[in-house]
Chain A
Amino acid sequence: MKFLKTVLVLLFVASFVLSACGGPAATEAVAEPAANEPAATDAPAATEAPVVDPNAPVSGGTVIIGTPQEPGMMNTLLTSSSIEDAVVSLFGEGLVSVNEKGEYVPVLAKELPTVSEDGLVVTWKLLEGVKWSDGSDFNCDDVRFTMEGALSDLSQVSASGYRDIETLECPDPYTVVATFGEVYAPYLRLFSYTVPDTAGALEDMETWDLNRNPVGTGPFILTEWEPGDHLTFSRNPLYREEGKPYLDSVIIKILPSREVGMQLLGTGEIHALWDLTEANFPELEQLSSQGVSFVSTVTGENELLSLNLGASDGTAPADPATAPHPILFDLSVRQAMQLAINKQQIVDTLLYGNVKAGNSAVPVGTFGCPQPVSEFSLEKANALLDEAGWVVGADGIREKDGVRMSLKIATTTGNQLREQTEQVLAEMLKAAGIELVIENVPSDVLFASWESDGMRDHGTYDLVMYTTGPSTDPDSHLYSSFHSSQIPTADNEGSGANFARYINADVDAWLDEAATITDTAKRKELYCQVVEQINTDLPRIYLYERLSIMGHRNEFHGLKISPTFVDFAWDSANWWMGQ
């Protein structure tokens, strides 16, 4: 028996060893073209040695960008993560994009779209002579196809705007005229990506060849994809701008974590590291002696406190007045809280002074409406609370009608910066006699949907701290955050993001009006009124402005981050490698 068993086991081992022997050979075959590619492209860089001005862009070279996330899809219509959206921008372009200041810029269009007097007809003038990387012409048909793609049942992009287009006409190959059924205020953001009409049938979208072999008009084309390890993008020979891109290739390297990425950035194995946070500032400071710096852009998002005006017992009232929060429904309490929070101190101590204190729901961009930072005054805070009848108890915490001024605060677990911020907030508010009890939850729980009993949706919280903000156009953000119809309740199946359960008839009216006009100046005026009213009524307290941050080596020039989904890759044609 022992003998037979041993034989069996040996057979088992042998079969394994054999299969393992097959393993390495197979990988080598796959790896070989991978390794040869960059070696070949390195050669011209070496021959172009004489450099005159160290600040003038030079051609050639390879940039390696590290990311802890892994892209799996190269079709804009089917992406499901921010790294995919960013990487797609190396080869994909839209009619418009958003620059590092949060402003719209034309890309495949000659200029930003024009809109008719009544706001219903939007016209784009396309660049002529642009070729897709497969050699076909870029024209109005591609734009139409992009719209059909976004509207298809299979698409994973937002169809807002596109579904309001009644007809899209091509009077000539380079003019796009869209007629809307009703005014679509944020029309500028439409067609920020394009898909070639040669892609295939819309119902086969999931099996299109370009999902893994993308076709684009941008500066680079995907030449190699080693799943789980890296993607190599090389110069697009059909790119419209002479002499660009400067770089021969861009490699997206998949890393295990940000921490490892920071080490590799220091040793020079990668040239840039995607998606850092404010918590990485100390480490970036340390790495500066090793030739590392960082670029950042204000995303327009804020780290903020959402204050629950409704009862936090799960009643989820449509109107908080019917079931008010025992502490936070009182405006003077909310005002006192903001007065007691020293935002600048949080910025200086926890964020090394690298960001601005939070002040506005829409701090930057075309519709930016920055406001003065709220005053910090402990005396005024205490005076307000005294006046409102909150009396300091024996333990230093205020009370009123048997209600102790103790609030629970929740944020995502495992985020050191947020945890430190909570502790600082707890100390600041304690000085005003308000107790903060920290009860953090995993991000999946904090952001859970209505169906998953999400605490924000059901209003089962006092304070939550998280980040949110408008993309370039604040329309949908302000509407879903502050319009009274956007309070999640059982009746509307939890739709909307008005988690504070904030109701203000003026704000409702301004937001309704802003959604029906296309005049940028007028819309901005309305949004600013909303922003000011929010700062008066305080359903949210803005703590600090969030940044989008990338670490990079000093020899890598031209990296600029856009606050929208195109992220770091939108201007990759102008990247270059110095010495």
Chain B
Amino acid sequence: MAIYFTRRVLQSLFTLIVISMILYGLISSVPGGFMSAYTERSDFTQEDLARIRAKFGLDDPIPVRYFKWLTAMLQGDMGNSFTTKRPVLQEIADRLPNTLLLMGIMLVTTLLVAIPLGIISAVKQYTWFDHIMTTVAFAGQSLPVFWFGLLLIIVFAVTLKGGNGKPLLPGSGMYTLGEPFSIADRIKHLILPVSMLTFVSAAGYMRYLRSSMLDVIHEDYVRTARAKGLKERLVIYRHALRNAIIPLVTLVALDLPSLFGGALFTETIFAWPGIGRLYFTAALKTDYPLVMAVLMIESALIIGSNLLVDFIYAALDPRIRLS
């Protein structure tokens, strides 16, 4: 067991290092780069540009820059943002609550929508309800987020008016400027981004649950339960669902780390000040330390959660660690 653990941990660390190498290489090769903010300005002489390049260590070749960055990171220093000069971890910590709020609510509403619809779709397979739901789910999965988001804004934040002649729902931001904080105001700002995220991600979970329900419903023990004369409700919820939902829970758990990164498109379209938007603006300005930090934390969380699931499988099933 110990050997298996060590091997898997080392593998994961190696994977992380390789990921960091690829990411750093890709980001540093983006044409333009941080210096493009200065090179187009006629009042900056070559001397000025050289000084600024040197200040940010951009004179070194990419591999040297990478090793400097890696050494600092291994000592717990993810660097300072090029634009704000603050430690990148502080920038991320500032935005984390906003992202968790949005993504947490989104997860709850997604499950609230996906689970009942998935069950009903499976139980009433090939009925008109199932057909409509499957079609809607396909639509949800296929819609480009940025397009759908703009559509929502145009309909609910521009065209439709509320009672006071103002738009029905706010189209951007986290609160109304100039108004005291209120839960109602926050909820109003959450409606559009959460609806969009829910529509898009519930579709996937729903289709997943539907097919796993369909598998279970045709199992012998479900037939046995029915043969015993149990009520259909009990058969579905107590016998079938409990087994069908387990793969979905694993899937949700593996998706959890991605909540950290927020929803890049959604946060950007709705001007939600979370990590997704932080990342987006940092990427536009090629603020290398900030971009790398967000990507590395996200990678570490994903690898870490996979590792955890592997360990638990191994603890539960000795065959896995032997093979």
Chain A residues proximal to chain B, CB less than 8 Å: 1-2, 4-6, 8-10, 12-13, 16-17, 19-24, 26-28, 30-32, 34-36, 38-39, 42, 62, 64, 69-70, 72-73, 78, 80-81, 153-160, 163, 189, 206-207, 211-212, 226-230, 251, 253-257, 259-260, 263-264, 266-267, 269, 442-445, 447-449, 452, 468-471, 476-477, 480, 495, 497
18 contacts between A and B (CB under 8 A): A12-B256, A17-B104, A20-B104, A23-B97, A30-B97, A31-B174, A35-B181, A80-B285, A81-B285, A159-B45, A189-B43, A212-B84, A212-B86, A251-B177, A255-B271, A266-B158, A267-B166, A469-B42
Contacts A32-B181, A38-B178 given; indicate if A9 touches B85 (C-beta within 8 A).
Answer: no
Q: For B154, list chain A residues within 8 Å (CB).
A: 263
Q: Let me know if B83 and A81 touch, CB within 8 A.
A: yes
B34 interface residue per 8 A CB criterion = yes
Q: Let me know if B101 and A24 touch, CB within 8 A.
A: yes
Q: For A442, list chain B residues within 8 Å (CB).
A: 31
Q: For B40, list chain A residues within 8 Å (CB).
A: 447, 468
Q: For B153, list chain A residues within 8 Å (CB).
A: 260, 263
Partner of B179, one of A35, A81, A229: A35
B199 interface residue per 8 A CB criterion = no
Q: For A24, list chain B residues within 8 Å (CB).
A: 97, 101, 186
Q: For A264, list chain B residues within 8 Å (CB).
A: 171-172
Q: For B55, list chain A residues within 8 Å (CB).
A: 153-154, 156
Q: How far is the CA of A543 from the CA of B243 in the complex (A)?
A: 70
B232 to chain A, nearest CB (A): 24
B228 to chain A, nearest CB (A): 22
**Nearest-neighbor residue (CB-CB) of A211 within chain B:** B85
**Nearest-neighbor residue (CB-CB) of A31 within chain B:** B181
Q: Let me know if B35 and A2 touch, CB within 8 A.
A: no
Those of B151-175 within 8 Å (CB) of chain A:
153-154, 157-158, 166-167, 170-175
A542 to chain B, nearest CB (A): 16
Q: How far is the CA of A163 from the CA of B46 in the complex (A)?
A: 13
Q: For B175, list chain A residues within 8 Å (CB).
A: 31, 34-35, 229
Q: For A256, list chain B residues within 8 Å (CB).
A: 172, 268-271
Q: Let me know if B172 and A260 touch, CB within 8 A.
A: yes
Task: Kindly list the 4 A-B residue pairs having the minimum CB-CB distance in the complex, ordered from nearest.
Answer: A228-B273, A20-B104, A444-B32, A38-B178
**Nearest-neighbor residue (CB-CB) of A260 within chain B:** B172
A347 to chain B, nearest CB (A): 24
**Nearest-neighbor residue (CB-CB) of A261 within chain B:** B172
Q: Let me know if B246 and A5 touch, CB within 8 A.
A: yes
Interface size on B, residues (CB 8 A): 86
Partner of B181, one of A5, A34, A212: A34
Q: For B101, list chain A residues within 8 Å (CB).
A: 20, 23-24, 27
A553 to chain B, nearest CB (A): 14
Q: For B104, list chain A residues within 8 Å (CB).
A: 16-17, 20-21, 23
**Nearest-neighbor residue (CB-CB) of A21 within chain B:** B104
Q: How far is the CA of A263 from the CA of B173 in the complex (A)?
A: 14
Chain B residues proximal to chain A, CB less than 8 Å: 30-48, 51-52, 54-55, 80-86, 91, 94-98, 100-101, 103-105, 107, 150, 153-154, 157-158, 166-167, 170-175, 177-181, 186, 246, 249-250, 252-253, 256, 259, 268-274, 277-278, 281, 285, 305, 308, 312-313, 315-317
Contacts A5-B250, A27-B97, A476-B42 given; indicate if A42 touches B85 (C-beta within 8 A).
Answer: no
Q: For A154, list chain B residues within 8 Å (CB).
A: 55
Q: Let me know if A228 and B82 touch, CB within 8 A.
A: no
Q: For B278, list chain A residues within 8 Å (CB).
A: 227-228
**Nearest-neighbor residue (CB-CB) of A2 within chain B:** B246
B321 to chain A, nearest CB (A): 14
Q: How far is the CA of A442 from the CA of B30 in the complex (A)?
A: 11
**Nearest-neighbor residue (CB-CB) of B83 within chain A:** A72
Q: How far is the CA of A35 from the CA of B184 in the complex (A)?
A: 13
Partner of A19, one of B51, B100, B268: B100
Partner of A229, one of B47, B82, B273, B316: B273
Q: How far is the CA of A488 from the CA of B300 in the complex (A)?
A: 44
Contacts A9-B249, A31-B174, A73-B83 given; indicate if A16 touches B48 (C-beta within 8 A).
Answer: no
Q: For A42, list chain B residues within 8 Å (CB).
A: 178
Q: How far is the CA of A497 from the CA of B150 in the complex (A)?
A: 40
Q: For A62, list chain B residues within 8 Å (CB).
A: 178
Q: Let me know if A470 and B42 touch, CB within 8 A.
A: yes
Q: For B166, list chain A residues within 8 Å (CB).
A: 267
B149 to chain A, nearest CB (A): 9
Q: How far is the CA of A189 from the CA of B41 in the complex (A)?
A: 15
**Nearest-neighbor residue (CB-CB) of A467 within chain B:** B40
Taking A72-B81, A80-B34, A447-B39 as known contacts, 11 extra A-B pairs with beta carbons closer than 8 A to each other, sorted by chain A number, are A5-B316, A16-B107, A22-B100, A31-B181, A35-B175, A251-B178, A256-B268, A263-B171, A444-B30, A447-B36, A452-B33
B25 to chain A, nearest CB (A): 15
Q: For A157, list chain B residues within 8 Å (CB).
A: 48
Q: For A4, list chain B residues within 8 Å (CB).
A: 312, 315-316
Q: For B86, list chain A residues within 8 Å (CB).
A: 212
Q: Let me know if B181 and A448 touch, CB within 8 A.
A: no
Q: How far is the CA of A119 from the CA of B93 in the complex (A)?
A: 53
Q: Let me know if B42 and A480 touch, CB within 8 A.
A: yes
B132 to chain A, nearest CB (A): 30
Q: Let me know if B178 and A227 touch, CB within 8 A.
A: no
Q: How far is the CA of A156 from the CA of B44 in the complex (A)?
A: 10
A88 to chain B, nearest CB (A): 13
Q: Let me know if B83 and A6 touch, CB within 8 A.
A: no
Contacts A23-B104, A264-B172 given; indicate if A39 touches B179 (C-beta within 8 A).
Answer: yes
Q: How far is the CA of A211 from the CA of B85 in the complex (A)?
A: 9
**Nearest-neighbor residue (CB-CB) of A564 within chain B:** B43
A8 to chain B, nearest CB (A): 5
Q: For A69, list chain B residues within 8 Å (CB).
A: 281
**Nearest-neighbor residue (CB-CB) of B273 within chain A:** A228
**Nearest-neighbor residue (CB-CB) of A232 within chain B:** B177
Q: Let me know if A476 and B43 touch, CB within 8 A.
A: yes
B251 to chain A, nearest CB (A): 10
Q: For B277, list chain A residues within 8 Å (CB).
A: 228
Q: For B312, list chain A residues within 8 Å (CB).
A: 4-5, 8
Contacts A20-B104, A159-B48 given; indicate if A448 touches B32 (C-beta within 8 A).
Answer: yes
Q: How far is the CA of A5 from the CA of B312 in the complex (A)?
A: 7
Contacts A259-B150, A267-B158 given; indicate if A227 touches B95 (C-beta within 8 A).
Answer: yes
Q: How far is the CA of A169 from the CA of B264 in the complex (A)?
A: 53
Q: How far is the CA of A469 from the CA of B40 in the complex (A)?
A: 10
Q: Let me know if A471 and B43 touch, CB within 8 A.
A: yes
Q: How far is the CA of A10 from the CA of B250 in the complex (A)?
A: 10
